A and B are shown apart, each in its own frame.
Chain A
Amino acid sequence: MSEEVMVSVKNLTKSFGDLLVLDDISFDVKKHEFLCIVGPTGCGKTTFLNSLTKLYDIDRGAITLGGQPIDPKKQNIAYIFQEYSTMEWLTVEENISYGLRIKHVDKQTARQRVDHVMNIVGLSKYANYYPRQLSASMLQRVVIARAFAVEPELLLMDEPYGQLDLQLKYHLEDELINLWQTTGTTVIFITHNIEEAVYLSDRILVLTNKPTKIKQSLTNDLPRPRKVSAPDFIKLRNEVTDLIKWW
């Protein structure tokens, strides 16, 4: 991992009327870092994400990506949310190459990249299927492949595996790690699931309840592939749980 800073958030503050949601948040994300953000249920994580994507105007502070003020229209940022927002009228392959066509990537390169990501997530056999013909897990793979195909500078993920069953989640998480390691993308991954955060991240940012601040930043240098029953893993998981536990 390089020391180059990819995303820099400084004094991010946002309130809705009298309700202060984000309270002076500052942190950096290094290039090719996998950052997980966890917080208690109902912390301002949606507001936080919408501020990053410029959906909301922020009251104060600055967010930069690669030194420039963040702007999804100009910069190469990809999102993966909980809803599998595929385009129903396009095949799997067309869905995945859609972002590349919009960005006028030449056909040869596009072809290669699409094949590469489809291969990693195991969609090669389903290239000509339509979204309706696929299961939820397959759709989730399409969405992930589409995000990685554009080789984004920054990938934002908001609890993409929330509703999937555990087993499938493991498979998809492993695929995600695989893609992340081969592409060198910087990832910000927001989740409620502490075990997932420990499994995926290089670093965990723990948020407080509203008004949201950063409670702690924990480096996670457990060796990969990780094992959920390893003593170190459990130790870190319990540490994060103790920071968040409200239930």
Chain B
Amino acid sequence: MKIKLKEMGNSLFFSLIGIAAILILWTLGVKFTSVGLLLPTPLEVLQRMAYTFSNAIGRELTLPMHLAVSLRRVVIGFSLASVCGVVLGIAMGRFRMVEAVCKPLFELVRPIPSVAWIPLAIVWFGIGETAKTFIIFMAGFVNIVVNTYAGAKQVDENMLGVAYMLGANEIQAFFHVVIPSCVPYIFAGMQVGLSTCWMAVLAAEMVSSTEGIGWTITAGQENGDMTQIFVGIIAIAVVGLLLAVLMRWAERVLCRWRVRGK
């Protein structure tokens, strides 16, 4: 146990060194070379970030409010993608007919990157919320279907046999065996899906929007405001990381049965 703690302490120490080294190099580069024309210093970025916590970027929204707008879009698109993706994935994995009909279509849609839907979404839905939801939905949907489908395919037929032998009917076996054994796969899909949704919202906002974290970056670019661009990028990174951590935590709670040891 002691050894583990020490090792963890060590790797934390080296991670911090890595981050510190980048920040120092960055600062030195800006101060003493021509890179300074292109970049703000880390300190400037941090100051601006603190400033925009209470002051508006653009007309009226502060940084947290822009983030909230983006997150709201992601939550809507991602939830829809999860529901539809899980249903379609399981249906494809468990029913031959559905698989035969949907799989070729799905395989065609699957390689299309979510940004490719942006022009189409604008033509179909205009530049309102629906278009953005659609783009985010497409980004998450594909990953969730792929994983759920793989999960539904690998359900152990023996376990279904066990359930039947204990007197379960088809519907009971579905809910007590098929669904639980898909859950880890669904989670894997949702984890990837959530991060692609987060990327997609930024892409969608950069093309057509008047608010959201993606828009702050585009706005920064239009005004030649380097610092604002960096504030946006760092906010995106931090929120993306937090989302991933959140998903991992949710998985640990919901898939408790897979954890060995104490």
Does A231 have its Cβ within 8 Å of any Cβ on chain B?
no
Residue tally, chain A, CB below 8 Å to B: 2
Closest Cβ of chain B to A57, distance in Å, is: 12
Which residues of B lie under 8 Å from residue A17 when comparing CB positions?
1-3
Does A242 have its Cβ within 8 Å of any Cβ on chain B?
no
Does A221 have its Cβ within 8 Å of any Cβ on chain B?
no
Dominant secondary structure at the A interface: loop
Residue tally, chain B, CB below 8 Å to A: 3
Does A18 have its Cβ within 8 Å of any Cβ on chain B?
yes
What mask results when residues 125 to 154 of chain B are scored 1 for a CB within 8 Å of chain A, else 0?
000000000000000000000000000000
Identify the closest chain A residue to B4 (Cβ): A17
**CA gap between A18 and B3 in the complex, in Å:** 11
Closest Cβ of chain A to B231, distance in Å, is: 46
Which residues of B lie under 8 Å from residue A18 when comparing CB positions?
1
Identify the closest chain B residue to A19 (Cβ): B1
Residues 1-49 of A contacting B (Cβ, < 8 Å): 17-18
**CA gap between A18 and B2 in the complex, in Å:** 9
What mask results when residues 47 to 61 of chain B are scored 1 for a CB within 8 Å of chain A, else 0?
000000000000000
Which residues of A lie under 8 Å from residue B2 when comparing CB positions?
17
What mask results when residues 1 to 30 of chain B are scored 1 for a CB within 8 Å of chain A, else 0?
111000000000000000000000000000
**CA gap between A17 and B1 in the complex, in Å:** 6
**CA gap between A18 and B1 in the complex, in Å:** 8
Closest Cβ of chain B to A59, distance in Å, is: 13
Residues 108-127 of B contacting A (Cβ, < 8 Å): none
**CA gap between A17 and B2 in the complex, in Å:** 7
What mask results when residues 66 to 88 of chain A are scored 1 for a CB within 8 Å of chain B, else 0?
00000000000000000000000
**CA gap between A154 and B1 in the complex, in Å:** 35
Binding site for A on B (CB under 8 A): 1-3
Binding site for B on A (CB under 8 A): 17-18
A-B contacts, 4 of them at CB < 8 A, read A17-B1, A17-B2, A17-B3, A18-B1
Sorted from nearest, which 3 A-B pairs have the closest CB atoms? Answer: A17-B1, A17-B3, A17-B2
